[in-house]
Amino acid sequence: MLDAHAEPWGIMRLPASGFVGAFDGVAAAWRATHPHAQAIACGMVGSAQGWVRAAYVPCPAGVDALAERLAAVPERGLHVVPGLTSAADPPDVMRGEETQIVGALALRPALSAASCVVLPGTHSKWARVVESNVVDFATFMTGELFAVLRDHSLLGRPARDAATTVDTATADDAFARGVRLAFDAAHGVAPLLFSARTAVLAERLDPAASLHYLSGLLVGDELRVGLARYGAPDALVGDPALCERYATALRTVDRPSVPVLDGAAPAGLWRVAECAGLVTDA
């Protein structure tokens, strides 16, 4: 790598100058010194609300299929990776994670033959990879569910009102209790959610730890369903702190430890760019 530049922007948080301004804010200096360099991006920039609309490529699909369907913003030399759509009914979709999966296979080639790759996040993805293709995947809204329940439901109130903070051991214990309860709940998490409040009322849960317990319930439910449908994950991909939380949850339910892969997105963008012939010696 020659240089790196990061901004906290996203499709919900663009600078006033919009996509053009965001791109130029990151890339204008590079383009001034390398006027023929090509650029590549993935994720919501290619959505209907994005800068240019990129396709959804149907599964099974790998890096070749993605490289063939790039969308373009010619005036900026920018190429945008398409998303993926599953064969389910209704079909599931991803945008951005397909590139992280390509990157994960590049970083760890042993995943290519047959593996389960999990990408924790606002909308967690569980993907099955066979012979370097994503053959199936499913979305769990774990992160968004947690955020809306924390910020807007009765379940967030004990922690919002708590006068004290919680020590790490108590927080970890509450998370593990939630994980185990939801993981063992044959019928799913719905009838357990209210316990994030009632356990506080019954003084069996520190109010300040109640969000860790709620987070454990939601992650435990995701693991229960994901493991039943996709088997044990072979890699956790994405934000390292969040992946470590999932790794902890897997250990809590006695599953083997799983490698955490960071930097999958740039690795995947590079692989797609290579495959599309965008990487030249110049």
Give me the least distance between CB of 267 and its own copies, in Å please: 26
Is residue 163 part of the contact set for its own copies (CB under 8 A)? no
Q: Binding string, 20-59, against its own copies, x = CB under 8 A?
A: ----------------------------------------
DSSP state of 190: G
Residue closer to its own copies (CB basis): 71 or 199? 199
* Residues that contact its own copies, how many (by CB under 8 A): 41
Residue closer to its own copies (CB basis): 65 or 182? 182
Is residue 154 part of the contact set for its own copies (CB under 8 A)? yes
Is residue 224 part of the contact set for its own copies (CB under 8 A)? yes
CA triple 34-75-52, angle to 5 deg: 120
Q: What is the DSSP string of 3-57?
A: -------BTTB--TTHHHHHHHHHHHHHHHH-TT--EEE-SGGGSTTSSSPPPEE
Is residue 193 part of the contact set for its own copies (CB under 8 A)? yes
Distances (CA, A) of 79 to 50, 61, 72, 123: 13, 18, 4, 24
DSSP state of 67: H
**What six digits make up the tokens of 173?**
């214990």
Short-list 86, 89, 87, 113, CA closest to 98 = 86
Is residue 141 part of the contact set for its own copies (CB under 8 A)? yes
Which residues here bind its own copies, judged by CB under 8 A? 85, 89-93, 123, 138-142, 144-145, 148-149, 151-155, 187-191, 193-195, 198-199, 201-202, 204-205, 221-222, 224-225, 228-229
